[in-house]
Amino acid sequence: MDYTKILNKISEELSNFSNSGKIASYIPELSKVDPSKYGVHLYCTLGSHHAYGDTKERFSIQSISKVFSLTLVMKLLGDALWERMDVEPSGNAYNSLFQLERENGIPRNPFINSGALVLADILVSEYEKPKDEILKFVRNISEVTSIDFDEKVAHSEKQHGYRNAALANLMKSFGNIKNDISTVLDVYFYQCSLAMSCEELAKAFMVYANQGKLLKTGEEIVNPIKVQRINALMQTCGFYDEAGEFAFRVGLPGKSGVGGGIVAIHPEKYSAAVWSPKLNERGNSLLGMETLERLTTKTGLSIF
């Protein structure tokens, strides 16, 4: 399939797209990004790359990073993880205190903020230097050693992360955060500040499209059964309370972030990353959603 031709056609069609989305401003550093940025990169399991636009410029991946922390924790704990969180779509805002209170400090899934904070707490318990381990893992699966945290974004999140602190304190009161809250928040904020390009994200997520193995070497990074479960969670919970809409329109497992990135995978076929900073009212890239919907429509390929 000529993916380059398809991406060029999509970009042509979307050149006059009325993008009414808004950049995330509650993290001030994110509001400084050029709203016109747009890139899409597709990496096939056959080894070919297909791209359009701003695919080499790094941006803050935000909640996309939760897939990486989930993978690390699943490798460490296995099914014991699910004693501390559920695997259900939230149906509420990704930072809902009300839902967490009602459900006794047990997050609905690993991809809402409370779930990711529990993941950070586990990484603090298991690793002497959890931030280093996150970087090591991401650099390995992307094969890019220069990937790093964005210090300005991390600092901006720390300065305005009151609601995440509230979530952590609430879970601490229920006994579901074991470590010092400031330490857990530090890991979480830095994790979300990871800066990667569309090309690097597509490379990193190939491990989820390729049954847990690095495409070039065949090295198994994650057990295939765990990859299936991670992909299932991306399908059902990867887009906050818009997961059903993404499944309906795009039909692929994926994960979004409020930095404007979306990554989606088609098992055994490709991984695709899109970046457009303007978000819809549910926190997902408006142009990114449209791009991926057109991709699966024009290729006729989804997991359904």
Q: What are the domain boundaries of the chain?
A: 3-299
SS3 220: strand
Mean pLDDT of the chain: 96
Burial of 268 (0-12, 13-18, 19+ CB in 10 A): exposed
Shortest CA distance to 208 belongs to which of 71, 85, 304? Answer: 71
pLDDT at 241: 84
How far is residue 207's CA from residue 121's CA, in Å, rounded to a whole number? 24
How far is residue 242's CA from residue 92's CA, in Å, rounded to a whole number? 10
* Residue 50 CB partners (closer than 8 Å, separation 6+): 3, 4, 6, 7, 41, 42, 43, 44
Locate 279 and state its tokens.
């978000």
CATH 3.40.710.10 holds for 3-299:
yes
Confidence of residue 90 (pLDDT cuts 50, 70, 90): confident
Locate 165 and state its tokens.
């602190």
Tens of pLDDT, residues 25-41: 889 999 999 999 999 99
* Residue 245 CB partners (closer than 8 Å, separation 6+): 239, 289
- On the CB side of 236, CA atoms within 13 Å amount to 13
Query: Is 90 exceeded by the pLDDT of residue 118?
Result: yes
Please state the pTM of the whole predicted model. 0.96
Locate 248 and state its tokens.
């309906």
Query: Is 90 exceeded by the pLDDT of residue 1?
Result: no
Locate 63 and state its tokens.
């909640």
Residue given tokens 């399908």 in the structure block: 235
First to last CA, the chain: 19
